[in-house]
Amino acid sequence: MKQKVLKEQKTVTTVLAAFVGALATIVAFTACDEWTKVEPKFGETNLNGTIKSAEYYASLREWKKTPGLPQTFVWFDSWSGGLSGDASLSGLPDSLTIASNWGGHPKFELTDARKADMKYVQEVKGVKVVVTLFSANIGDDVPYEEVYNIPPNSSDSARIAPAIRRYAESIYEQVVASGYDGFDWDYEPMGGGGSGNYLWRNKAQRTLFVKELSYWFGKGSQRTDRGDRKPAKPGLLFLIDGEIGLMGRMDKEWPSYCVDYFVLQAYGGGNFDWRINGVIEDMSKWIEEGKITKEEIVGRIILTENFESFASTGGGVLDMSKYVYNPQTGDNKGIDRQIGGFGIYRPAFDYNQGKGDYNGSPEYYYLRQGITNLYQTYYERQKAKSE
């Protein structure tokens, strides 16, 4: 068993190290050139320790703090925190930046194994671990409180405001207590099913919910107009996924400029320009008010693929990972901006593809290729700007 685990650990190498030779002239223009020169050191016999140098991991963590760095994102499933690479966050490629606990197990009652696994990737690899909740009704997934006992479909501000305010704060408290780095709201009012999902479908409720969440998470969490709210832990991420840029759409009244990343379920590929156009349109109010630019919006968009359906072929993930928004016609003509990143829903389906090695690692065959595309595009554009 020990030999098997060591073999699995050795193959979990960062994809950036794999293509550093090809990008040597590119990374010279970036802040990460130091850590990419550090070679992984294998041969570790203590399974509770790391298998690469402390300098390697310190530089990896620092690189992930690079302003404007595109993100590699996964909704992680089958998470046990065990030694198997497809069941542990530690088994994901080093270059991954954000992992979300999506699976069906209790989100705020983590086992000791999951806690240890999460702490390791956070502290050693610099991965941000967030939690995904549907939050389709007030009080979902948090301990019951009397304040939540209101007419479910009410739009009466006097009734819903205390309940939603407390619910958003409770999510924050659970996130912090569990050790997560942020919150991902899975918003699916049209395709998610269930006419009783009022926090999705009731416009008054969902608008107030996003406003209250923004006091605790994302770019607005340190605002000074907190009223009698307690201070928020700085740096917690705020993501919204689901029907973003299509179908139910975001309401223009949402303080969506506070959201760190809009995660688009662009399953099966398709017209990425069209999806991004929808996000920009939904944020037109804030663009006009000067709170955010179109370019900044594109830089917060993460395109994702569904590997529950497309793992065998990769679906559109390779196109997503090298995609640059550069419309030639329409209202957004003239923007030339790499998207904020790419991601995969249920990456465990990609763990053992049996397609051979990709840059020395057979695990996560398409995910590693996507990471290569993403950062190769990033560094090539950085180099072009510097010239």
pLDDT value of position 104: 73
Paired strand residues for 116: none
DSSP string, 195-210: TT-HHHH-HHHHHHHH
* Per-residue pLDDT reduced to its tens digit, 263-285: 999 999 889 999 999 999 999 99
Residue 26 pLDDT more than 80? no
214 conformational bin, left if phi > 0, alpha if psi -120 to 50, beta if neither: alpha
pLDDT value of position 50: 52
Counting residues of the chain whose pLDDT is more than 90, the rounded percentage is: 78
Distance, in Å, from the CA atom of 210 to the CA atom of 277, rounded to the nearest integer, reads: 21
* Per-residue pLDDT reduced to its tens digit, 337-384: 999 999 999 999 999 998 888 887 889 999 999 999 999 999 999 999
- Strand 337-338 and strand 324-325: the pairing is antiparallel
What tokens does 116 get? 């240890």
Q: Please work out, in degrees rounded to the nearest 5, the angle formed at the alpha carbon of residue 171 by the alpha carbons of 166 and 172.
A: 95
pLDDT value of position 77: 86
pLDDT value of position 170: 98
- pTM beyond cutoff 0.95: no
Question: What phi and psi, each to the nearest 5 degrees, are found at residue 189?
Answer: -65, -30
pLDDT top residue among 23 and 263: 263
What tokens does 24 get? 């040597």
Between 203-213 and 157-178, two packed helices, what is the crossing angle to 10 degrees?
40
pLDDT value of position 1: 35
Q: Is the dihedral of CA 161, 263, 328, 67 positive or negative?
A: positive
From residue 64, give the alpha-carbon distance in Å to each of 94, 122, 285: 10, 11, 32
List, in sequence order, every beta strand (DSSP E) within 102-158: 128-133
Residue 24 pLDDT more than 80? no
pLDDT value of position 309: 97
Residue 22 pLDDT more than 50? no
* Per-residue pLDDT reduced to its tens digit, 312-334: 999 999 999 999 999 999 999 99
* Per-residue pLDDT reduced to its tens digit, 30-54: 334 433 332 233 223 233 445 688 9
Range 241-250 average pLDDT: 92
* Per-residue pLDDT reduced to its tens digit, 113-153: 999 999 999 999 999 999 999 999 999 999 999 999 999 99
Residue pointed to by tokens 């030999």: 3
* Domains (range + CATH), the chain: 2-386 (3.20.20.80)
Residue 183 pLDDT more than 90? yes
Please, which residues have CB within 8 angstroms of residue 347's CB and are 6 or more apart in sequence? 74, 75, 76, 77, 92, 307, 364, 367
Please, which residues have CB within 8 angstroms of residue 96's CB and are 6 or more apart in sequence? 72, 73, 74, 125, 127, 367, 371
Mean pLDDT, the chain, rounded, equals: 87
Range 91-96 average pLDDT: 95
Report the SS3 class of residue 238.
strand
What tokens does 68 get? 């404007």
What is the 3 state secondary structure string of 28-86?
Answer: CCCCCHHHHCCCCCCCCCCCCCCCCCHHHHHHHHHHCCCCCCCEEEEEECCCCCCCCHH
